Amino acid sequence: MKRIVFCDFDGTITVKETFVAVLKHFAPQLSAQLIPQIYARKLTLREGVRQILESISSSCYPEILEFSRGETIRPGFTELLDFLEAKQVPLVVISGGLRGMVEVVLGKLVQRVHAIHAVDIDTTNEYLQVKSEFEGGTELVAKVQVMEKYSAEEKIAIGDSLTDLNMALATPIVFARDALAQYLQQHQKPYIPWQDFFEVRDYLASLWNSAHEQPNP
């Protein structure tokens, strides 16, 4: 594989951060207690998110999926998929949120992404149970671990927040907005600022066009 794009979901593909809103809505007390600790990096995402999710009754799961229905997708996402398809570059969604939520929001676009890696939920017991294939380090979904599953000459990451930091630090070409941009500045890691997927598409188009004109070493 020559090129591959890894894309976060919450606050990246979606305009709003749905997952945090879900945690706050369905587990208000525990969220109020733990989320600030996660942002302050005193508690890992892995521990904090698991604790919050596993405090929610399984009977809430359909309502959780319903909660994310109608979430707005950031402009240009379909056009980015069109462009990547034409260039035969796969886009892999890596989300620290719930797979069910990603699928509800993407709808028919699910078929157009190469893969979705996210948290799976088991609802057979009284409380939600977290099943994450790539749990590791500080993350419930260790995005770098997912990325390593794919070999490609050129890896590109798109993200917006702390949950994308490790992925961004491990990727040569990073599109960062919002908090992720600030974290990357602190780490002195170069990134491309972006607001919508049209900008991502246009940047990649010119990057790959100019790369094409250079002779192979």
Which residues bind to Mg ion, rule: CB under 5 A? 8, 10-12, 160-161
Burial 30-53 (b: 16+ CB within 10 A, else e): bbeebbeebeeeebebbebbbbbb
| Residue 139 vs 160, nearer CB to Mg ion | 160
Q: Which residue is nearest to Mg ion (CB)?
A: 11
* Alpha-carbon span 120 to 138, nearest angstrom: 18
* Alpha-carbon span 122 to 174, nearest angstrom: 33
The pair of three-digit structure tokens given for residue 10, joined into one six-digit string: 């919450």
| Residue 129 vs 138, nearer CB to Mg ion | 138
Query: Least distance to Mg ion from the beta carbon of 112, Å?
Result: 20
| Residue 89 vs 157, nearer CB to Mg ion | 157
Query: Least distance to Mg ion from the beta carbon of 20, Å?
Result: 9
| Residue 11 vs 100, nearer CB to Mg ion | 11
| Residue 14 vs 145, nearer CB to Mg ion | 14
Query: Least distance to Mg ion from the beta carbon of 111, Å?
Result: 22
Mention every residue, 6+ apart, whose C-beta is less than 8 A from residue 110: 103, 116
Query: Least distance to Mg ion from the beta carbon of 17, Å?
Result: 6
For CA atoms 92, 97, 103, 104, the dihedral sign is negative
In 3D space, the residue among 152, 199, 198, 195 whose CA is nearest the CA of residue 171 turns out to be: 152
* Alpha-carbon span 188 to 186, nearest angstrom: 5
Query: Least distance to Mg ion from the beta carbon of 57, Å?
Result: 25
